[in-house]
Amino acid sequence: MRNKNNYISVSPALRKVKHLAPMLGADISFVGRIKRYINVRNSRGKAVLAWGRKPSSLVAARYAKRHRLPLLRIEDAFLRSVELGAHCPPLGVVADSEGIYYDARSASELEAFILQPLDEEQQQRANTIQNRWCELKLSKYNLHRSHNVDYGRPYVLLVDQTAGDASINYGLASAESFQEMLSVAKQRFPDHLLVIKTHPDVIAGLKQGHFNIEKLANEPNVRLEGRALHTPDIIEGADAVFCVTSQVGFEALLWGKTVYTFGMPFYAGWGLTNDALKAPSRRKPVSLQQLLYAALVRYARYWHPEKQAACQVEELMEWIGQQRIWRQRFPEKLLAERFPRWKREYLKTFFSGTQLQFMPRGEALPENGPCVVWGRQEKPNCLCVEDGFIRSVGLGADLTAPKSWVIDDMGMYYDATRPSRLEAILNDYEFSEEELSRADALVERLVKEQVSKYNVGDNSWKRPKMAKTVILVPGQVESDASIQYGSPHLKQNVELLAQVRKRNPDAHIVYKPHPDVVAGLRNPDSNESEQVQFCDEIVIRDNMASLLEKLAPGDEVHTMTSLTGFEALLRGVRVCCYGQPFYSGWGLTQDLYPNLRRQKTRSLYELVAATLIIYPRYLSSNSRRLTSVEQALNEIAEERKVLQTATLLFRIRRSMKRKVLRLKRF
């Protein structure tokens, strides 16, 4: 008896797409070369998967025929991914049991979907998708940055394709079709610039296209465009688009452009394009909404890399669109100092969209940059990187993967001696209602879920019942730059404790040493033995968030520059600053030594929006891409659950992995 929820794959390439099974809503069994012939039981299944019409699909077709199973052809969808196919698996695929969309010689499921009428709700959905597609400037691949494309005169776009592209032959076209395309473009648009978009490798002579580059280079009305431009940027300004079988023609239709075709791609023959070839009788006039809805909604399956679940096209569009926005922030190329090896891959992701060149060991930073450095740097044009405010589940010194880093082009948030990008945001930025609403929700969530910077420790401390006022003093790593550059008067934890006791002789003072110091990952405090005379209690293991939750109204947090002060503000706890941390000076804290550059009064939600939404960058461990603070919190919650239920063996393996990483850190 066949397992109706099981597909069979004989393709190693399909096997690498780990999320293909949930996208298709079924299990997939891989049958290797030997098992294809000796294990008849492998013939049980719903269908055999083939990768389009690639040569490997012939093996799948033979297997399906031998075992009398249907063949389901898989291909990349029209919205595929951020990066190119060689670097990441598809986030969108199409599955076709009739044929495949680019093969005009036979029918496909896409053609049947295109002919289906739309109700009012579906038409509205198609219109919304079309508008959002253009707003986000999406394409099949979304690797390249957006640029302002201006040729100084009206132009039409002609799309070259690399020699051997299978869609040309299957699209009823040939190499001669490209020459016909050029000839017709010259006739129809004699006064326009003809921009031929070709692959950069064709310009460099590494690949072969369909035009004589040397000949066309001498024609004044022809421009060979071999730059790595984002496709929508060049579509947007074109008065018309000419294609043989390229998907660019479909995207041009979404932009409302006049499209000429010289093959029979999936979007031709429906009355929406000017076609050089006669359409198959299967194709009838339809609306653009029918074509769009069929291609992007009915025909394709999508995977959300953060949610790790199948999704609708709109969800993937928004995710890719946000990735594009984040990738535009920094220059296209940057030098980077010699970061520890374990940080480099994270750095590349936090700087997605920027090509980083790491400097050799011992080489000095350039005087005028621009370059990327870790921590505070006084040289101009440096982008300074540091841990964010919601960093990880685990300690930074223990090489735990970071959830957030901040990248500052002015200074660094903990350096009160000069302005930082965060300070500039708080001084000048106009916050939107959406940002403040998100900040409101973040405050509620951070408090409810007891999130702190490192999210480690237990929940055993109890507030003394007889204490009138409890003052929580968070310890800091005394060698940390935030004390050196953010606390102009006090530099040691024992100095802070002495000042707190002097100012509050009757308070119950609770001191919590920094977790990195407790773990032995950083140097111990100066005069550590003297700390006990200034405090009533030293708490070692408790999670900082749970400590803050147990403080009563009237209790306080006293600190030099610790992030605990910011976390206390989120919970409505009064904070007294003996230094000049980033959250001081905005009317929310009692400041013993105010920073005179900070004159503007900000609300808690404005401070949170600047600090947690606008200033940092977050990294998703699910997608290994940039993400939002909300998704970072989702993943932190999941990681904390895993650690709480982890077996002893899991903890031992995790500890050993950290030790190996420390050995390789440089």
Place of tokens 């293909």: 20
First to last CA, the chain: 57
Rounded-to-integer distance, Cα 328 and Cα 334, Å: 13
Q: Please tell me which residue, 518 or 585, carries the higher pLDDT value.
A: 585
Contact 335, 660 (CB under 8 A): no
For residues 658 and 185, the model is more confident at: 185
- pLDDT above 50 for 396: no
Averaged pLDDT score across all residues of the chain: 90
361: Cβ–Cβ under 8 A, 6 or more apart, which residues? Answer: 338
What is 391-437 written as a DSSP string? --SS-GGGTPPPSEEEEESS--TT-TTS--HHHHHHHH----HHHHH
Give the residue from 575, 534, 579 showing the smallest Cα distance to 556.
575
- Beta strands 300-304 and 309-311: pairing type? antiparallel
d(CA 315, CA 322): 11
Residue with the larger pLDDT of the pair 517 and 149: 149
Q: pLDDT at position 454, please? A: 59
**pLDDT of res. 611:** 97
By the 10 Å C-beta count (0-12 exposed, 13-18 middle, 19+ buried), 189 is classed as: middle
* Contacts for 123 with CB less than 8 Å, ≥ 6 apart: 289, 293
309 forms beta bridges with 304
Cα gap 197→216, rounded to integer Å: 13
Contact in structure between 489 and 578 (CB atoms under 8 Å): yes
**Per-residue pLDDT tens for 233-244?**
999 999 999 999
User: What are the residues whose beta carbons fall under 8 Å from the beta carbon of 154, sequence distance 6 or more?
Assistant: 191, 192, 193, 239
Q: Is the pLDDT of residue 648 over 90?
A: no
Find residue 310's DSSP bridge partners.
Answer: 303
Structure confidence at residue 651 (pLDDT): 53
Helix (H) or strand (E) holding 83: none
- pLDDT, tens digit, 9 for 90 and up, residues 129-169: 999 999 999 999 999 999 999 999 999 999 999 888 889 99
Residue 649's pLDDT is 55
The yes-or-no verdict on residue 447 having pLDDT over 70 is yes
Q: Which residue type occupies 271?
A: G
Does pTM top 0.75 for this prediction? yes
- Whole-angstrom CA distances from 66 to 40, 41, 59, 408 are 10, 13, 11, 62
Task: Tell me what pLDDT residue 228 has.
Answer: 86
C-alpha triplet 284, 287, 292: angle, nearest 5°: 105
Residue 592's CB: how many other CB atoms inside 10 A?
16
Q: Mean pLDDT across the stretch 398-410?
A: 83
State how far the alpha carbon of 44 is from the alpha carbons of 8, 22, 29, 58, 329, in Å.
8, 19, 10, 19, 51
Strand partners, 357: 335
Helices (H) and strands (E) in the chain, counts: 25, 26
Higher pLDDT, 459 or 445: 445
| pLDDT of 38 above 70 | no
Task: Please give the average per-residue pLDDT across 115-140, as a whole number.
Answer: 98
- Cα distance between residue 599 and residue 426, in whole Å: 10
What is d(CA 88, CA 82) in angstroms, rounded to the nearest whole number?
A: 8
Taking the C-alpha atoms of residue 326 and residue 407, their distance in angstroms, rounded to an integer, is 12
C-alpha triplet 590, 595, 597: angle, nearest 5°: 130
Report the alpha-carbon distance of residue 563 to residue 576 in Å, rounded.
Answer: 12
- Is residue 485 a contact partner of residue 512, using CB atoms and an 8 Å limit? no
The predicted structure's pLDDT at residue 455: 58
Rounded CA separation 98/21 (Å): 20
| Cβ-based neighbours of 60, under 8 Å, separated by 6 or more | 9, 10, 11, 48, 49, 50, 51, 71
Q: What is the mean pLDDT of residues 556-579?
A: 97
- Supply the pLDDT for residue 397: 44
pLDDT for residue 214 is more than 90: no
